[in-house]
């Protein structure tokens, strides 16, 4: 049995405290997260379909990757780590903004996050994208206008946080 993942929760006074990741989601505790958006040279976004076995939002499309920093891990290191863990490649990432949101993600779980958003650029021909099947079932490049049309037509195919990011940042680019 693996040890629980401990992530940074955020207290009312803004201080951080360690909390088990699943508890943060069952109790809707405000906590830190990161989201990565990797674009290609044509401005298309690499998106992923979460593996069906994920503890929430399995089978839904999301941004390139997202995660929670481990306790005492910086956001930038967390973003790079997760990109490699989920998609087996790395690119330089740039911190772009911070987003706070709350959303019901189903199965009695809730996100209440302060998310540092990172962007990066990779060639469309990235040959070494090899999704970890425990995390990602498929990937694809998509133009933002096409993505927005897909979300408008089939919002339930996409994770709540991804829809929120695109609503708040309609001109998200690299």
Rounded (to 5) percent helix, strand, coil in the chain: 25, 35, 40
pLDDT digits (tens, 9 = 90+) for 86-143: 999 999 999 998 999 999 998 899 999 999 999 999 988 775 688 999 999 999 999 9
Separation CA 73–CA 140 (nearest Å): 29
Average pLDDT over every residue of 10-35: 97
Separation CA 149–CA 67 (nearest Å): 26
Separation CA 13–CA 91 (nearest Å): 35
Closest CA to 119 of 90, 93, 143: 93
Between the CA of residue 144 and those of 14, 42, 86, 94, what are the distances in Å?
Answer: 34, 11, 22, 19
pLDDT score recorded for residue 173 = 63
Contact predicate 147/155, CB 8 Å: no
Report the percentage of the chain scoring pLDDT > 90. 84
Contact predicate 29/11, CB 8 Å: no
Average pLDDT over every residue of 142-152: 95
Top-confidence residue, 6 or 2: 6
Question: Any catalytic annotation for residue 86?
Answer: no
Report the percentage of the chain scoring pLDDT > 70. 95
Q: Which of 57, 65, 111, 113 is catalytic?
A: 113
Report domain 6-168's class: alpha beta
Question: Any catalytic annotation for residue 65?
Answer: no
Q: In the 8-state DSSP scheme, what is residue 88?
A: S
The pTM of the full predicted model, rounded to 2 decimals, is 0.94
Pairing relation of β-strands 31-39 and 109-121?
Answer: parallel
Domain ranges of the chain: 6-168
Q: Which of 57, 65, 66, 86 is catalytic?
A: 66
pLDDT score recorded for residue 124 = 81
């Amino acid at each position: 049995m693996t040890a629980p993942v401990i992530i940074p929760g955020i207290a009312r006074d803004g201080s951080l405290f360690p909390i088990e990741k699943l508890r943060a989601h069952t109790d809707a505790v405000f906590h830190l997260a990161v989201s990565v958006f990797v674009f290609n040279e044509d401005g298309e976004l690499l998106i992923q379909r979460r593996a069906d076995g994920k503890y929430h939002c399995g089978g839904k499309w999301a941004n390139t990757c997202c995660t929670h920093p481990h306790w005492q891990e910086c956001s930038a290191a967390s973003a790079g780590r997760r990109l490699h863990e989920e998609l087996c490649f790395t690119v330089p990432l740039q911190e772009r903004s911070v987003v706070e949101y709350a959303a019901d993600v189903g199965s009695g779980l809730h996100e209440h996050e302060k998310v540092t958003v990172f962007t990066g650029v990779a060639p469309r021909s990235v040959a070494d994208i090899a999704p970890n099947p425990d995390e990602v079932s498929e990937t694809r490049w998509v133009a933002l206008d096409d993505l927005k049309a897909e979300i408008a037509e089939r919002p339930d195919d996409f994770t709540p946080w991804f829809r929120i990011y695109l609503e708040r940042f309609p001109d998200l680019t690299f």
